[in-house]
Each structure stands twice: as structure tokens, then as C-alpha cells.
Amino acid sequence: MTAYSRADALAADAADPLAGRRDAFVLPDGLIYLDGNSLGPLVRASAARVTGTVTDEWGQGLIASWNTAGWMDLPLSIGDRIAPLIGAGPGEVVATDSLTILLAKAIGAALALRPERSTVLTDAANFHTDLYILEAMARRAGRPLQVRALERGDLAGALDDSVALVMLTHVDFRTGEMLDLAGLTAQVHRAGALMLWDLAHSTGAVPVDLTGAGADFAAGCTYKYLNGGPGSPAFLWIAPRLVGEVANPLPGWLGHARPFDFEATFTPAPGIRGFVTSTPSILALAALDGALDAFDGIDPAALRAKSLALTDLFIALVEERLPGALALVTPRDHARRGSQVAWRHPAAYGIVQALIARGVVGDFRAPDIARFGFAPLYVRYVDVFDAVTHLAAVLEAGEHLDARHATRRAVT
Amino acid sequence: MTAYSRADALAADAADPLAGRRDAFVLPDGLIYLDGNSLGPLVRASAARVTGTVTDEWGQGLIASWNTAGWMDLPLSIGDRIAPLIGAGPGEVVATDSLTILLAKAIGAALALRPERSTVLTDAANFHTDLYILEAMARRAGRPLQVRALERGDLAGALDDSVALVMLTHVDFRTGEMLDLAGLTAQVHRAGALMLWDLAHSTGAVPVDLTGAGADFAAGCTYKYLNGGPGSPAFLWIAPRLVGEVANPLPGWLGHARPFDFEATFTPAPGIRGFVTSTPSILALAALDGALDAFDGIDPAALRAKSLALTDLFIALVEERLPGALALVTPRDHARRGSQVAWRHPAAYGIVQALIARGVVGDFRAPDIARFGFAPLYVRYVDVFDAVTHLAAVLEAGEHLDARHATRRAVT
């Protein structure tokens, strides 16, 4: 990979079958945006969809739009658009609430399916909200449950017939490591336990086949690689073989079989609709619906191929131009890599801030990780090349040690 | 009230100190909108605020807007704008999630404060989602709890030292009856129980003084009289004397004291912020923030006075022009009336549909209620007059029995 030049990057962009899709996005001039794994950029169709929903559907249609504009079905119709990205079928996915709330629903539903079992396992390196909600729901399960947060290699040894549920995140938010979704699901099933996958850092970026893996429960967020907008609704999938056996632990009227009959007793709507609780934000769903247009007609294999090519190039260029300067924490093995690259450095915070000042947006994750996301729908090879040029300039000039960049603020 | 003419109504509008505020709203030409108790209309400032959030904050600011555009603080800053409408102080209210989810949090928090008590009381006529979530959370309280849904007059007799929590809705969604918030709170407190108020049909329409009433917990929705948009985020208030003693039963990372320190253990942020779970929709919050501009500088006493004048006029005109045709279910007593008027009629569904066909939007609530909301910020006296003229025409011509209107669809 020596002597890979900017011209080589431009040539790779010219040959990129996904290159045209970048025009679907609003990307500020001159900005290299490598933080789509935190907040995806605005899709032009999303802005138009929100304007139409506000001005026409809400402004002019008012209450009638619940029927005439399809508001009532949006959680399911959007779910149907997410389904192909995660190997799910139509009618199996719902978009509503936040990810933590949907994880709560899945955890509560799953624990009730294994009433005789007393242990729940997760990954000590899981995103912290996953740990908080797992603890909280385990405390409310109506029986004593032990939650064990394990080191990643210790899962196999901890699986026994006491385990009710295993909850893992498919792609590690810090390191970008991708777990073996099918293999781990099978392993968990052999112990008679259920498996809940958090797909926050997977959906729209790496191949996911929940049906093929025989998975049980999955939830994910839509404001990262799906570009649904800040705090956009999350999604929940429950295997069709299970959805009729489980109850939504946070039931609400919009998940009722007959919401407008105002019945005093909760009778769930069939399937995943029973996991809608109450009225989701229609503006938020509209933004997400528009954003999903960016995935129309995209070949998942092409998406994955470009993602790996981008992350391969970033790793190679950093190691070539800055040998030994940063420690790679993302797996080199393609089968174990998501769509981000993370580096460890004692001054990671300062590096990220100095890059932002130069118009290269990645992010910092405590205590010492600089994280860069490569969303294949809009990140170009030349962005990778230029980002590394900036990174080299930052480190060579010591910009990351400059007080303007190195003093950590409360929120990054 | 005989011989009240359309000219009288126009004169009342001309003298209305709130008349100018109607211009803050988008109201389709010729439509008489008496359904703001279901979905408030679009506030012009809300549309502008959403466009700015989408185009500038998200589109151009991207991830930086979490800090630079104040996204991180929106649940609290919007809470501070709702606070004066409910008699709460700054820093006491949070806007996030849906109402059912916030009720779940309040119920879980409250039940943990009375661990030795075994009964929960509510109103059998409560909105059904309140009943569902109360049952669900009571089942997960970690101890046997009996939920009793009472007839409205039976509450006093059921209050004893077994009661942990009473959950009531301040204004009845069907009948428009307003309960005595301060009196019932005091009664519940005398039994040593806690009180949770659902303010869905109150906030922005009738005076609410949670602090003055010494209330414990309250939650409400913002898409009715606050005009926050379809499915806009709900709000939660917890009395300052209690908020430090309770735990969010659905904890998430944005309610952590140090969300970006990624700690494995949940340490709640002080106060009501600990009841934020995870990322709320910023677009939905922006729409709500803009909508609240319509309340800037409004005198709550003027709002209440106009609301009562509108509902008085509607009742008087219907009874004058259609004597005995419809049975009033809303209390005549001002102290017991919210900001809506509901009538019982065997063909209520057909009446509502025939009125909608004439451009007068109310709504139907099963089994036999026609419901009309009078939002004093934009409903005019002439709208009341014209609505009654249309209602008389519908009943005189039998339009409500026409198959086009009388055949009930699944969703109204």
C-alpha cells in the first residue's frame, strides 16, 4: 500500500458504484464527516418529508392525517423498510420509542419466557445504557435474577442451564469489533437461553441476518447509519415464532388490538404491533422515513465491500504515515470489524478536537479512544486520504496538545 | 341567552383580549377546528423552528449541535417553559418519551416509596392506556399489589392505610369533567398515600397548580392544548421534596450524572434529569419548543375565562336551538369543567362525521359521545356559533343517519 496517492483515492471514488448516492445527503462544504456512527447526516429526502408532514399533513390535514396520511401505520410501515437491512420479514419490525425503552420491552418479554432460570449475561464492555436497563428490568422481573457482565471471552464458560437471557451488542461502540451474530446465537440456544441483540452500530452498515441466525430479539437505533435524525425512533424485532408468546411489559393503547374501542383490559394487537406503547412522534418518524430513501436499491454486498475498503484504507494509511503513533483497537479481521476504526492514544481527546478544528469530524470515547465512522453511502476514498493527511499534520505540529483542544469539556 | 346572534358572537371576538393570538396558528380556511383536545394545530413558530433544526442544526451543525444548539438541554429547557402552566418551578419538569412511558416511570418511582402498602387506586373511567400501564407496573413492583379501578364517587371510601398510590386524570377525556386536584391530593395524603396526576387534558387549557396543591407526581401530553405536534414528547413533574428520594425505573444513559464518562453503574443526574432515559427526538422537541411560543405572555386567568365563556356559549346555543336533542355529559359547574363539551347521542358517530363533512371537526368517543374541544388561543366565539348552526342543520336534515356518515370505521 506504499505510495497510495490522493489521485489513487480519487480514482477509487470514480470507480465506486455507490458514489452517486452521496448526492442524496446534505454535507457541509469542506467537512469530512466521519461521525455518522454517532449521528448520520441529513438526507435531502428526509428534509422534504418533514416539511410535508409539518406543513401539509399536520398544518392542513390536522387530526384526519392519522388516517389519511398513514400516521397510524408509520411504526409498522417504517419497520418494513428497516426489515430487509436486518434479515427480517414484513410485519416483523416496529419503529417507536428510544432504544433503551425498546430494550426494556425486549428484556421484560424475554425474561418472562424463561421463568425458571435465574441468570442474565451481558458483556462488561456493552454500551452503558444497555447495562443500566438490563439491571433495572432484571430487578423488576418478579423473581431473583443475577445479572453478570462478563469479559468478552468468558461468555462460553458462563452459559449453563441457569441462563435465561444473553444480551449483546453486535458491533462494539468503542472498538468497532463485530461479534459473530449467528455463532453466538447458536451457542446461547444450545444452553436453552434466549438472545437479545443490540444492533445500534450495525444496522445500515454491516450485513445482519436475524432470520438466518435464528435470532430471538433485536433492537437498534436509527440515528447512526440509518440517518434518521437526532434522537430518531428506535426499532424492535421479535422472531415470528416468539412474538405470539410474549407480552409487552410496557403496554399502551396504541398496541391494543382495538385502540379506539377504549377497553379497560389490554388485549394486544397481533404480532409486533402489540409492542407499540403510545403515540410516537410523527415528525420523528417522517424524518426517518425520508432518510430510508437513501437505502432504496442499494446492494448490501456493495455496501459492505465499500465499508471494508474504506476502513482498510484508513488503517493502512495511518500505519504507513504515522507508524506506531496510535494503537489500533479495531480488529483487522474483516469478519470481526464493523464500519468504524478506533485508535487508542493518551491524547485521544485532543486529537479529535484538533481534527474537528480542521474540519474532520470523528469523536472521542472515554478514556482514550479516537473513533472514526465510515458510512459507505456518503464517505469517499478521498475523504479517508484527506483525513489521514490532517491527522498527520495534527500529530506532527502537536496541535492535539494545544490547550484549545486538549482541555476536555463535559460533553464531547 | 335567547336571540344570541352571529353578530353577538362577532362582537365577542372583537372584544376578546386573546383574539390576536389566533394569528400564531395555521388554521385551514373555512375549517372550524374543535379537536385541539386531540391534536392541536400547527403553530407558525413551530414550523419555523423545525425547519431551522433540520436545515441548520442537523444539516449543517451535525453532531456539534448537541452542544452548540442546546440539544442536550432541550428536555429540561422545554420543561422550564411548561412549568408555569402547571404551577411548577424551574428545573422540575422534563419533556421526553411518550405519556405512557412517563406514567410508567412515575408509577414505578412512587410504588417504591410505599413498600409496605399493597393497594393502588384509580378511576374506572380513566383513559385506558393509564389503566394498562398501571396494571403492568403494579405487576412488576416486586410485591403483590392489588389495582382497584373505582367508580368516581367511591374513592374516599377506598382510601385506607393499605393504599400506596392513587392515579387520576385531572380532566376526563370523555366527559370533560375536571376533578378537584388540590382537594383530592389532600384527601389522598391524609391516608398516607401518594398521588399521580395525568394532566393530558388539562395542560394549556385549565389552571393547574401542582405546587399549591402539594402534589407528588404529574405527567401530561403536549400534542393537545400545547400544540406540540402529532405524538410530541410528554412531560413529567416530580415534587422537589420527592425527586431526590426516587429512582427512575427505566434508567438510561442520558439520565446519568456523567453520561459521557460511560460508567458501568447508573448514578442518576440530580433532580428530574435522572428521569430522562435515552436520546429523545430533537425534531419533536423542536416542534414543541416552537409551539410553546403561542403561550408567551398569555395570562392564565384570561385563558380560563375565555375557555369557560366558549363552553358556556356552546352549551347554551345547543340547548336553545336543539332542545332535548343531545344529552350534556360535561358538568355545568365551572369548577368541574375542563375545556371541552361532550354530548351523548345514540348516533354520535354519525353526527361527528356529518359535521366533519361540513368542515366542523370534533371527535367521537365510543360508545356514544360527540366531543368538542375549545382551545381558547385560537377558537373564536363565531366558530362556536357557526358550529351550532351546522349541528342544527345536520340533525334537522338527518345527515347523521346518512350511510356515508353513520357507518363506523375502525379508526375515527
Q: From the CA of B372, how many Å to the nearest CA of chain A?
A: 13
CB contact under 8 A, A132 and B104: no
In angstroms, what separates the C-alpha of A361 from chain B's closest C-alpha? 9
> A264 to chain B nearest CA, in Å?
6
**How many percent of chain B have pLDDT more than 90?**
95
* Residue in A closest to B277 by C-alpha: A100
User: Would you call A98 and B97 a contact, using CB atoms and an 8 Å cutoff?
Assistant: yes
- Neighboring chain A residues of B28 at a CB cutoff of 8 Å: 59-60, 62
Cross-chain residue pair A66–B287, CB shorter than 8 Å: no
Tell me the CATH class for B48-295: alpha beta
Mark yes or no for CB contact A280/B231 under 8 Å: yes
Angle between the N-to-C axes of helices A381-397 and A300-321, in degrees from 0 to 180, rounded to the nearest 10: 30
Tell me the one-letter amino acid at B289: D
The half-sphere exposure of B51 on its side-chain side, counting CA atoms within 13 A, is 11
Q: Which residue has the cell 375515527?
A: B412
Nearest to B59 among A26, A64, A411 (CB): A26
Of residues B63, B260, B279, nearest to A366 (C-beta): B260
Q: Among this protein's residues, is A73 annotated catalytic? A: no
- pLDDT (0 to 100) of residue B408: 72
Residue B100: which of A26, A149, A278 has the nearest Cβ? A278
Cβ neighbours of A108 in B, within 8 Å: 140
Residues B227-275 have pLDDT tens digits of: 999 999 999 999 999 999 999 999 999 999 999 888 999 999 999 999 9
Taking the C-alpha atoms of residue A201 and residue A224, their distance in angstroms, rounded to an integer, is 7
Q: Are B166 and B155 in contact (CB under 8 A)?
A: yes
- Does B47 sit within 8 Å of A54, measured CB to CB? yes
Domain regions of chain B by residue span: 6-30+299-406, 48-295
Complete DSSP assignment for A298-366: --HHHHHHHHHHHHHHHHHHHHHHSTTTSEE-S-SSGGGB-SEEEEE-TTHHHHHHHHHHTTEE-EEET
Report pLDDT for B2. 56
Mean pLDDT of B53-62: 98
Question: CA of A36: which chain B residue's CA is closest?
Answer: B63
pLDDT of residue B261: 87
Length in residues, chain A: 412
Q: Which residues in chain B are contacts of A66 at CB distance < 8 A?
A: 39, 230, 411
A–B interface: beta-carbon pairs under 8 A: 271
Q: Give the pLDDT of residue A412.
A: 41
List CB contacts of A279: < 8 A, sequence separation 6 or more: A254, B98, B99, B221, B223, B230, B231
Mutate to test the interface with A, among B94, B100, B107 (most CBs of A within 10 A): B100
Q: Do B50 and A98 touch (CB under 8 A)?
A: no
Topology of the domain covering A6-30+299-406: Aspartate Aminotransferase, domain 1 (3.90.1150)
The pLDDT score that the predictor gives to residue B406 is 82
pLDDT mean across residues, chain A: 96
Contact yes or no for A100 and B250 at CB 8 A = yes
Q: Of A198, A216, A289, A383, which is the active-site residue?
A: A198
Omega within 30 of 0 (cis) for the link into B367: yes
Can you tell me the distance from the alpha carbon of A353 to that of A207, in angstroms, rounded to the nearest whole number?
A: 31
Assess contact for A194 and A166: CB atoms under 8 A: yes
Nearest-by-Cβ selection for B287 from A258, A266, A283: A283
Residue type, position B34, single letter: L
Count CB neighbours of B280 within 10 A.
Answer: 24
Q: What pLDDT was estimated at residue A2?
A: 56
**Read out DSSP for A368-399?**
TEEEEE--TTT--HHHHHHHHHHHHHHHHHTG
The type of residue at B118 is: S
Q: Write the pLDDT tens digit of every residue in A182-214.
A: 999 999 999 999 999 999 999 999 999 999 999
- Judging contacts by C-beta atoms under 8 Å, the chain B residues touching residue A26 are 59-60
Q: Cβ of A98 and B33 within 8 Å?
A: no
Q: How far is the C-alpha of A387 from the C-alpha of A361, rounded, in Å? A: 9
Give the DSSP letter of residue B179.
P
Roughly how many angstroms between the first and final C-alpha of chain B, as a whole number?
Answer: 33
ipTM of this complex prediction, to 2 decimal places: 0.97
* Beta-carbon count within 10 A of A65 CB: 20
The count of other CB atoms within 10 Å of the CB of residue A278 is: 27
B256 contacts on A by Cβ (under 8 Å):
128, 132
- Measured CA to CA, the distance from residue B209 to residue B258 in angstroms comes to 32
CA distance B369 to chain A (A): 12
Beta bridge partners of A149: A122
Q: Which residues of A touch B128 (CB under 8 A)?
A: 253, 256, 262-264, 266
Question: Which of B26, B232, B254 is facing A281, going by the closest CB pair?
Answer: B232
Q: Cβ of B394: how many Cβ atoms within 10 Å? A: 25
Residues from chain B contacting residue A266 (CB–CB below 8 Å):
128, 131-132, 135-136
Are the beta carbons of A272 and A76 closer than 8 angstroms?
A: yes
Contacts by B255-259, CB closer than 8 A, 24 or more apart? B256/A128, B256/A132, B258/A410, B259/A411
Q: How far is CA B61 from CA A378, B49, B52, in A?
A: 17, 15, 11
- Bridge partners (DSSP) listed for residue A32: A360
Name the residue in chain B with its Cα closest to that of A261: B366
User: A264–B131: do the CB atoms touch at under 8 Å?
Assistant: yes
Indicate the burial class of B10 (C-beta count within 10 angstroms; 0-12, 13-18, 19 or more): middle
Q: Are B260 and A371 in contact, with CB atoms under 8 Å apart? A: no
Task: Round to whole Å and give the CA distance between B353 and B270.
Answer: 49
Say how far apart CA A47 and CA A255 lie, in whole Å: 29
Q: What amino acid is encoded at B412 in this protein?
A: T
pLDDT value at residue A409 = 59
Q: What are phi and psi of A341, to 5 degrees?
A: -130, 130
* Of the candidates A147, A153, A157, the residue with the CA atom closest to the CA atom of residue A122: A147
Helix spans in B280-408 (H): 282-291, 300-321, 348-357, 381-397, 403-406
The tens place of each residue's pLDDT in chain A, 412 residues long, gives 458 999 999 999 999 999 999 999 999 999 999 999 999 999 999 999 999 999 999 999 999 999 999 999 999 999 999 999 999 999 999 999 999 999 999 999 999 999 999 999 999 999 999 999 999 999 999 999 999 999 998 999 999 999 999 999 999 999 999 999 999 999 999 999 999 999 999 999 999 999 999 999 999 999 999 999 999 999 999 999 999 999 999 999 999 999 988 899 999 999 999 999 999 999 999 999 999 999 999 999 999 999 999 999 999 999 999 999 999 999 999 999 999 999 999 999 999 999 999 999 999 998 999 999 999 999 999 999 999 999 999 999 999 999 888 877 544 4
Give DSSP secondary structure letters for B292-327: GGGGTT--HHHHHHHHHHHHHHHHHHHHHHSTTTSE
d(CA A313, CA B391): 71
Shortest CA gap B264–chain A (Å): 6
- List pLDDT tens digits, range B184-231: 999 999 999 999 999 999 999 999 999 999 999 999 999 999 999 999
Nearest residue on chain B to A65, alpha-carbon basis: B230
Burial of A75 (0-12, 13-18, 19+ CB in 10 A): buried
* Neighboring chain B residues of A34 at a CB cutoff of 8 Å: none
